[in-house]
């Protein structure tokens, strides 16, 4: 598989103790590749603002937001459906490499905190991959044109359904 063009790598050692603010803006080529990988018509705009900061030991935290304008295809009419995606994210990065056998790296995280965890390899973070993943999570899984509706249909309405027991009763009544 070809290398992902929206790969924005940062060296961990370049992140100062006070943290570092970054902004990613996808260019036209990157947006076209993202649209293809996500299976949507277009990514018209993608901007991500975030801050990277050291947490505990070799753990890093990335907090930020992304904003994107995308075009998806309506699942009913196949017409284009524009959508704006606004996603906040909070990701903890752990080193993937094993520590020295005599001095293993142990990182304790609070499992009750609502945060994602990822691994970084060889002292580098791929920020573009994280942004692309959160864009994918923010997409509407069933995009529909606003004027598309189903008159008379109510979600969860069971009033017109025949009970399976009623069907059985009808069968036994016919045999009698």
DSSP string, 91-160: EEEEE-S--BTTB-------TTS--EEEEEBTTEEEHHHHHHHHHHHHS-SS---TT---TT--TT--TT
Residues 6+ apart with CB under 8 A from 109: 59, 92, 115, 117
Low-confidence stretches of the chain (pLDDT < 50) are 1, 99-104, 107-109, 111-112, 114
Angstrom distance (rounded) from CA 66 to CA 47? 6
pLDDT score for 100: 42
pLDDT score for 123? 83
Q: How far is the C-alpha of 167 from the C-alpha of 8, rounded, in Å? A: 61
Concatenate the DSSP letters of all residues of 61-76 into one string.
EEEEEEEEEEEEE-TT
What was the pLDDT predicted at 3?
57
Question: Is the separation of the CB atoms in 34 and 135 below 8 Å?
Answer: yes
pLDDT of 119 = 81
* pTM (two decimals): 0.72
- What pLDDT shows up at residue 40? 95
Q: What pLDDT is stored for residue 98 in this prediction?
A: 52
């Amino acid at each position: 598989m070809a290398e992902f063009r929206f790969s924005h790598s940062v060296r961990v050692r370049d992140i100062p103790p006070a943290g570092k603010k970054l902004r990613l803006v996808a260019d036209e080529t990157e947006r076209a590749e993202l649209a293809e990988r996500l299976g949507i018509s277009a990514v018209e705009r993608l901007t991500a603002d975030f801050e990277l900061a050291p947490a505990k030991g070799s753990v890093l935290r990335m907090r930020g937001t992304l904003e994107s304008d995308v075009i998806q295809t309506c699942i009913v009419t196949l017409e284009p459906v524009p959508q704006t995606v606004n996603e906040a994210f909070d990701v903890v990065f752990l080193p993937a490499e094993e520590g020295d056998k005599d001095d293993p790296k142990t990182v304790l995280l609070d499992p009750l905190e609502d945060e994602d965890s990822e691994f970084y390899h060889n002292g580098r973070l791929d920020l573009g991959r994280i942004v692309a993943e959160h864009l994918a999570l923010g997409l509407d899984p069933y995009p529909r044109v606003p004027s598309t509706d189903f008159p008379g249909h109510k979600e969860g309405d069971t009033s017109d359904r025949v009970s399976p027991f009623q069907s059985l009763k009808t069968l036994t009544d016919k045999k009698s």
